[in-house]
Amino acid sequence: MALITFSSSGLYCAQGNFYIDPWKPVDSAIITHAHSDHARPGNKKYLCTHDTKPLLKLRLGEDINVESYNFNEPVFINGVKISLHPAGHIIGSAQVRIEYKGEIWVFTGDFKTENDGISGKFEPVRCHNFITESTFALPIYKWEKQEIIYNNLFQWVLKNNSEGFCSIIFAYSLGKAQRVLIPLSKTGIKIFGHGAVCNVNETLINSGHNLPAITRISSETKKEDLKSSIVIAPTSAENTSWLKKFQPYKKAVCSGWMQVRGNVRRRNADAGFVLSDHADWPGLLEAINATGAQKVFTTHGFKSVLTKYLNEKGLFSAEVKTSFSDDEEGKEE
Ligand SMILES: [Zn+2]
Ligand SMILES: [Zn+2]
């Protein structure tokens, strides 16, 4: 039996009797990161990085049983060596390396190869079998350098500000919201946050992360204070009456999906910024190549395209069925 199998509850290691990012409740779950399609409730025991632990508690409750580790720190379960390695996706995100009797598997969880300065630098890990996400596995997905995107965002916000508009920026509340704070804090314009974003920020600040201060929007927030300001909101707030308070405003969406022509209009936004927390097509290929893996399993997204491409290159690749959402960037949980 293979060291890792693809069961109906998730990726499973029989030798260690644990799962990785299971989508059904199990006894022992290794969690790559705190996004809701990877970190689900109901597991008896969770294992993750130190940075993921407080985020798991925020999302799943204080009373969960969670053990946390440093990157690269080995943990042994019934002779299976487990270690977590930076995935560069969001704060705390990890790839999982599993080794037993010389056989090595790596599961990426979600990852990106560009270093965003807050999520840890993606670390290529050598292995025999590599299970990779493939959210943006189409050759059309090729990201511009984040500095260029940050600058565009910066200019857009300044223009809105000078014209008396509030800039509402829709970004996933865990990950993207913190990442866009870097360029936004440099504008010198006051930044407000939706409760979902502020909850994550406060959790991170309490666990020692340095993030620019933002002000929580509440029923007491005065309309005149919001004039020409910046608001960071989760995508779930996109078409709700919550936005009325910010009028007049301009809306922007920050997501890899904004690369597709028409998506800005479809989302009823004034601007789209192609800023993703997933690897683009060159990033995926570079990551696969760096592992030296003989077998590559694809999950999550355009897996058939990636598998076909790898097969044509002479590499063994197969798609695996998982329950990770294909576009968590586009949908808030
Ligand atoms: Zn994710
Ligand atoms: Zn995911």
**pLDDT tens string 171-226:** 999 999 999 998 999 999 999 999 999 999 999 999 999 999 999 999 999 999 99
Q: So what's the pLDDT on residue 1? A: 80
Tell me the CA–centroid distance for residue 136 and ligand 1, in Å: 13
Tell me the CA–centroid distance for residue 109 and ligand 2, in Å: 7
In a 3-state reduction of DSSP, which class is residue 288?
helix
Tell me the CA–centroid distance for residue 265 and ligand 1, in Å: 25
Tell me the CA–centroid distance for residue 328 and ligand 1, in Å: 7
Same domain membership, residue 123 and residue 23 = yes
Tell me the CA–centroid distance for residue 89 and ligand 1, in Å: 7
Tell me the CA–centroid distance for residue 163 and ligand 2, in Å: 38
pLDDT of 68 over the 80 cut: yes
Closest CA to 97 of 77, 72, 62: 72
Query: Other CB atoms closer than 10 Å to residue 320's CB: what's the count?
Result: 15
Tell me the CA–centroid distance for residue 128 and ligand 2, in Å: 23
Confidence of residue 9 (pLDDT cuts 50, 70, 90): very high
Reading the block at residue 272, the tokens are 């789209």
Closest CA to 69 of 47, 86, 91: 47
Q: Is residue 105 part of a domain?
A: yes
Split into its structural domains, the chain has a count of 2
Same domain membership, residue 59 and residue 30 = yes
Q: Is residue 165 part of a domain?
A: yes
Q: Which residue range(s) make up the domain with 172?
A: 146-273
Q: So what's the pLDDT on residue 325? A: 66
Tell me the CA–centroid distance for residue 101 and ligand 1, in Å: 30
Tell me the CA–centroid distance for residue 262 and ligand 2, in Å: 24
Same domain membership, residue 269 and residue 281 = no
Same domain membership, residue 287 and residue 239 = no
Q: Is residue 331 part of a domain?
A: no
Rounded to 10 degrees, what is the CA torsion of 15, 32, 302, 323?
70
Same domain membership, residue 119 and residue 240 = no
Tell me the CA–centroid distance for residue 333 and ligand 2, in Å: 11
Same domain membership, residue 38 and residue 111 = yes
Same domain membership, residue 182 and residue 285 = no
Tell me the CA–centroid distance for residue 223 and ligand 2, in Å: 36
Residue 317: half-sphere exposure toward Cβ, Cα within 13 Å: 24
The predicted model scores a pTM of 0.95
Confidence of residue 332 (pLDDT cuts 50, 70, 90): very low
Same domain membership, residue 309 and residue 260 = no
Same domain membership, residue 205 and residue 114 = no
Query: Other CB atoms closer than 10 Å to residue 331's CB: what's the count?
Result: 13
Place of tokens 């913190």: 178
Q: What is the pLDDT of residues 80-99, one digit of tens each?
A: 999 999 999 999 999 999 99
Q: So what's the pLDDT on residue 330? A: 42
Residue 91: half-sphere exposure toward Cβ, Cα within 13 Å: 26
Share above pLDDT 70 across residues of the chain, in percent, rounded to a whole number: 97
User: Which protein residues have their CB within 5 A of the ion that is ligand 1?
Assistant: 35, 110
Q: Is residue 333 part of a domain?
A: no
Confidence of residue 69 (pLDDT cuts 50, 70, 90): very high
Confidence of residue 63 (pLDDT cuts 50, 70, 90): very high
Tell me the CA–centroid distance for residue 75 and ligand 1, in Å: 23
